[in-house]
């Protein structure tokens, strides 16, 4: 079987282990999106903000990389022009710019995790981390939910565009009814079907599952995990009043 060969599995493996990706998502969510830390953490936050984009380039995820860069540039652009805007609009620009600059980085890291990790790899990583099934099963369903919803949304938009129901079309006022309502009902149906499929495949069974995919920590994983520990250590030192620079 070609898939079970060692060479084939190595070819399918991503740049990072799923456990490293989960650790990076948590670190970015706490320190970049959550804003934890003061002046001493600012250089580290800049490095963390660039990390998801470097990983997307390493995995050749060009579309996600460009989309994230555009959103990040829009956020910094709003913050740059904010002092030159009228009072009411400047507050709105500050709010939107702050949301984009904080959230986009973590969202890109989450997209990288979902795009480069299969369900089998995530479940295998969860078992090695000894996570309970109450966490691994919903998360494994989520890994298939978002891509499936994205494909469904594109299909609905394509079908409605053929009927002139889109922004700027002849029936633009019907966009909410004929695009959003079918999307909401489809999302509920997709979630139920994926949950049923996960349980049918034995994800909720009491026995230990075997897994054909290969995961394991490599040099780049150890380097990034050490970086995560360093970030936490710098924050702890800052909290107790120790300055490193």
pLDDT, tens digit, 9 for 90 and up, residues 227-242: 999 999 999 988 887 7
pTM higher than 0.75, yes or no?
yes
In this prediction, residue 1 carries a pLDDT of 37
Mean pLDDT of the chain: 82
In this prediction, residue 171 carries a pLDDT of 64
pLDDT, tens digit, 9 for 90 and up, residues 190-211: 878 877 777 776 666 666 667 7
Give the angle subtended at the CA of 227 by the CAs of 224 and 230, to the nearest 5°: 160
Q: Which residues contact 215 (CB under 8 A, 6 or more apart)?
A: 13, 17, 18, 19, 121, 124, 125, 128
- E strand or H helix that includes residue 150: helix 133-162
In this prediction, residue 20 carries a pLDDT of 93
């Amino acid at each position: 079987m070609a898939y079970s060969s060692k060479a084939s599995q190595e070819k399918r493996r991503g740049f990072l282990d799923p456990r490293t990706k989960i650790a990076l998502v948590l670190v970015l969510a706490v320190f970049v999106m959550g804003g934890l830390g003061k002046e001493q953490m600012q250089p580290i936050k800049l490095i963390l903000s660039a990390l998801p984009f470097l990983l997307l380039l390493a995995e050749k995820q060009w579309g996600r990389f460009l989309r994230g860069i555009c959103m990040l540039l829009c956020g910094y652009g709003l913050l740059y022009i904010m002092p030159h805007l009228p009072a009411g609009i400047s507050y709105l620009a500050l709010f939107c710019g702050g949301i984009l600059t904080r959230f986009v980085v973590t969202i890109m890291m989450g997209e990288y995790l979902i795009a480069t990790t299969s369900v089998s790899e995530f479940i295998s990583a969860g078992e090695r981390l000894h996570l309970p099934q109450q966490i691994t099963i919903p998360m494994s369903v989520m890994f298939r939910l978002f891509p499936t919803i994205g494909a469904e949304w594109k299909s609905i938009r394509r079908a409605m565009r053929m009927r002139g129901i889109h922004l700027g079309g002849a029936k633009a006022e019907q966009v909410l009814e004929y695009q959003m309502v079918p999307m909401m009902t489809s999302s509920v149906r997709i979630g139920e079907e994926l949950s049923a499929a996960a349980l049918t495949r034995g994800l909720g069974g009491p026995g230990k599952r075997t897994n054909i995919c290969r995961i394991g920590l490599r040099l780049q994983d150890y380097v990034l995990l050490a970086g995560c520990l360093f970030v936490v250590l710098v924050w702890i030192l800052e909290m107790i009043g120790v300055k490193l620079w």
